[in-house]
Amino acid sequence: MQRSIWPLTSLGIVSAWLWSCGSTDSTTHDVPPPWPDASTDATSDAGGFAGTGGSTTGGSAGTGATGGFGGSSDAAHDALPDALDDASIDVVEEVVCSPNTFRCQTNKLEKCNAAGTAWNLILSCATSALCDDGEGRCTPPECLPNEHRCTGKVLERCNSNQNGWDVVQTCLSPAHCRSEYKTCSATPCPIGSYQCSGSELMRCNATQTDWDFVQDCQSSALCDAAAKSCTPATCAKGEFGCVGAELRMCNFTLDGWFDLQTCASEALCDAAHGQCDLCEASRYTCEGADLRRCADDGQSLTTEQTCASASRCNAQVGRCDPGCATGAPGAGDNCSSSGNVDCCTKSPLPGGTFSRSYDVVNYTDSQYVATVAPFALDRYEVTVGRFREFVDAGHGTQASPPHDGDGAHPLIPGSGWDSSWNSLLPADTGALKAALNCDIVYQTWTDTPGAKEKKPIACVSWYEAFAFCAWAGGRLPTEAEWNFAAAGGAEQRVFPWGDTLDYQHAVWGCETDGTPGCTSSDLFDVGSRSPAGDGRWGHADLAGSMSEWVLDKFLDPYPMPCSNCAAITQGSGRMRRGGAWNDTTPARLRTSSRESANPEHRFTYLGFRCAWSP
């Protein structure tokens, strides 16, 4: 396999991947890659000594359980006046209006609530717009104050509501209607002049006594007296449009737009219905732990479900996430060294632009620029306890695979589950459990819950990792997203927490347990190095502990350009990032290091975490 020189020059050359505890078939792209030769991982060497036991002596994780995309909390309810609060009086609200009807208070449109007990302001029309209580919206005026027009021989004037025309008089010969004079007049019309009567183009007749009909411009065109013709209309009758948050409507002369009102946000400007929506039509949002759905007409918001916590509320998939539902060890509020942090915590990232595999110090090629949209990422690697919920529910198998398209990045078409992968999952739960028992010494899975529930799950194929994230309501992070989280975005950090690597910041090198050499005591619970080893946005163990599957295939150089990109068609294998507990080479722990592996294979040092889009 021919590879470009880029991984060698950009990632530097480090010592060969020789780990005394076992062999590997995965690839580190800063050394001549042994993969894809498909020997299985066989970390069966138990090591020569028992070690001192995996103490979890990291710093306190604190209480920083950032709650995902929950949104703001409920506004405080107005307190009742003391007199009412104290007295046991039933306050019956009086019916004051007909439910769901509209009224206009000057330019303010109000709607009677469903109980008929109050008028609620729903919008303020633009200064020169009309408040229409019949339609419940703002509309442009049909005409201007004191504007006159001629319809044939009939002189008309704009009515006081500016929504129609009043007849002033019908002109009798020899006088004819002259809107410019706002009267009937026998004054000769100018030779060769044109005027418009409504949509009809008229020309001064040969005797200059009246106007001859030329053509009717109809509703799709404008009568243009100056151009002596019909000209194309700017917009269609009754058409609405949005410019940013501004809702506008085609004016009655069809030659321009009339600003109706300013919606609360661009997303709420609804040109199809000619209104400002109260919420984004058909979309889910989370208000704390409440999962709410906006009606298809954008005019009402209802709470469909209240999730166990704010971080379980998943607006993207419109449901409460199933993960950490049991509250069991590794699947409840019992992670990190403090033992009280939600193992399913999602820490949000702001999105931004940075350079992939660029840390300023070791790797100085900044050309692989990428932009990622805001997203959230599991604060911890997926634990054994979390994975157990998934296994116990029967998922991750050919018997219960994800649906086509599940687990997609919403900004990357075609990034969801492909049903042709179903056959790459274990046949059933028994086969999945057997596969998770990939190494008697170093596997973290146990068939029954045991002492390793808070350790990161390992021995999972890329397909199982993908299926887990899809089931959990999320997806695998893209390589760019993972790199963004680790590098602290544009801070381009060398390690997720800063510049130097030691055993207080990461689980690595088989020495975080204080004893040289690899034993099972080198496997730590998730978050054991928090908060010292956390990344810029609070993510634990990005470097070390388990190396982590990401969505992308291995493509060298990186896909370019990259705005929410991922290598999902071209490339080989699947990427993994971050180095692992058994990596003795510091460079592997750097945020710039790239490695890949065969997606069907399992390793005792390879786990994952999930990402979520807002």
- Containing H/E element for 383? none
* Contact indicator for 435, 443 with CB cutoff of 8 Å: no
Q: Which x/- pattern, by CB under 5 A, does the window 166-205 give for Ca ion?
A: ----------------------------------------
Smallest gap from residue 524 Cβ to Ca ion (A): 11
Helices 429-436 and 384-392 sit at what angle, rounded to 10 degrees?
A: 160
**Stretch binding Ca ion (CB under 5 A), from 31-39, 83-91, 403-411, 534-542:** 534-542
Residue 541 interacts with Ca ion (CB under 5 A)?
yes
Using CB under 5 A as the binding rule, whether residue 522 contacts Ca ion is answered as: yes
Torsion of CA 230, 233, 237, 243, to 10 degrees: -170
- Polymer length of the chain: 614
- Choose between 347 and 545: whose C-beta lies nearer to Ca ion: 545
Q: Which stretch binds Ca ion (CB under 5 A): 53-61, 254-262, 384-392, 516-524?
A: 516-524
Token digits of residue 318? 């419109």
How far apart are CB 545 and Ca ion at their closest, in Å? Answer: 4
* Rg (alpha carbons) of the chain, rounded to whole number: 34
Q: Which of 513, 534, 552, 583 binds Ca ion (CB under 5 A)?
A: 513
Cα–Cα distance for residue pair 279/263, rounded to 1 Å: 11
Query: What contacts 515, CB < 8 A, 6 or more positions away?
Result: 49, 51, 52, 521
What is the x/- site pattern for Ca ion, positions 571-600, by CB under 5 A? -------x----------------------
Among 545, 564, 593, 598, binds Ca ion (CB under 5 A): 545
Which among 31-39, 257-265, 331-339, 521-529 is the span making contact with Ca ion, rule CB under 5 A? 521-529
26 lies in the site for Ca ion, by CB under 5 A: no
| Out of 510, 565, 566, 575, the residue judged to bind Ca ion by CB under 5 A | 510
Nearest to Ca ion of 157, 475 (CB atom): 475
- 102 or 442: whose CB is closer to Ca ion? 442
Q: Which is nearer to Ca ion, 230 or 518 (CB)?
A: 518
DSSP line for 411-474: TSTT-S--GGGGGGS-SSHHHHHHHH---TTT----SS--TTTTSBP-S--HHHHHHHHHHTT-
Q: Which residue has the tokens 């990401």?
A: 550
Other Cβ atoms closer than 10 A to 338: 17
**Per DSSP, what are the bridge partners of residue 120?**
111
Nearer to Ca ion, 341 or 510 (CB): 510
Nearer to Ca ion, 426 or 496 (CB): 496
Task: Give the C-alpha separation, 87 to 309, whole Å.
Answer: 35
Report in angstroms how near the CB of residue 78 gets to Ca ion at its nearest. 48
Nearer to Ca ion, 275 or 478 (CB): 478
Please report whether residue 366 would count as binding Ca ion according to CB under 5 A.
no
- Distance, in Å, from the CA atom of 287 to the CA atom of 302, rounded to the nearest integer, reads 11
CB of 8 to Ca ion, least distance (A): 24
For residues 567 and 445, give the distance between their C-alpha atoms in angstroms, rounded to a whole number: 30
Residue 605 Cβ vs Ca ion, minimum distance, rounded to whole Å: 9
Please give the DSSP secondary-structure letter assigned to residue 600.
Answer: T
Site for Ca ion contains 210 (CB under 5 A): no
Site for Ca ion, rule CB under 5 A: 510, 513, 515, 522, 541, 545-546, 548, 578
